[in-house]
Structure 1
Amino acid sequence: MGAVDTWLTILLLTAATLVTRCTIFLLGHAVKMPPRVQHALRYAPAAALAAIVAPDLVLVDGGLHLSVMNPKLMAGLGATAFFLATRHLLGTIIAGMALYTLLRISM
């Protein structure tokens, strides 16, 4: 693959990304999503975050590691409990990282 092919690929992928991501903004209010779709889209960021974070908590060296000796999993559970008790996002991040650090040092 030559330099021209590489740049052409980059330009075409950039155009495809811009068209697919900007369409909703360019059309403005001409496109109305059904209420069910709008309601479902409210959960998309949380689902994406869970899909990224959950494997990191339970996988160690490519294998499933569900035990109390997994500091990431224990810190994640502790942070979840903290959030459910307080509903404070910044405090959850701080508590989770502090718990992870303590568990990692002690194990």
Structure 2
Amino acid sequence: MSDVEVWSVIILLGVATFIARSSFWLVGHHINLPKRVQEALRYAPACALAAIIVPDLMLANGEIDVAISNPRLVAGLAATAFFLVKRNMLLTIFFGMAVYTYIRLGL
């Protein structure tokens, strides 16, 4: 590919991204979503976060590992329990990483 083609692709992809993302701002106030759809969209961030975190906790070396020997899974479960008790996200992150480091290093 020549430099012109590469820059053309970069610019066109940038324009396409801008149009896709700004369309909600430009016409969003003219479109009314049904109440049921609005209620369902409230759960989208939690679902996206779960879709990112759960596979990372349950996979080890490309295979599903749901054993107690999986340090990421154990640390994730410990962090979840900690959050349910304390309700503090920053402390939960520190606690989960401390548990993970402790298990991984075998202290």
Partner of 1:15: 15
Partner of 2:29: 29
Q: Aligned with 1:32: secondary structure?
A: coil
Q: Aligned with 1:69: secondary structure?
A: coil
**Which amino acid is 1:71 matched to?**
P
Partner of 1:43: 43
**Which amino acid is 2:99 matched to?**
L
Partner of 1:84: 84
The answer to whether the 8 Å contact 1:58/1:66 transfers is: yes
CA distance in 2, matches of 1:87, 1:81: 10
The answer to whether the 8 Å contact 1:82/1:92 transfers is: yes
Post-superposition offset of 1:27: 2.1
Partner of 1:69: 69
**Which amino acid is 1:101 matched to?**
T
Q: Count residues in correspondence.
A: 107
Give the TM-score normalised by structure 2.
Answer: 0.90
Unaligned runs of 5+ in 2: none
Runs of 4 or more, structure 1, over 4 Å off, are: none
CA distance in 2, matches of 1:33, 1:86: 36
Percent pairwise identity: 51
Q: Aligned with 1:67: secondary structure?
A: coil
Q: Aligned with 2:33: secondary structure?
A: coil
Give the TM-score normalised by structure 1.
Answer: 0.90
Partner of 1:2: 2
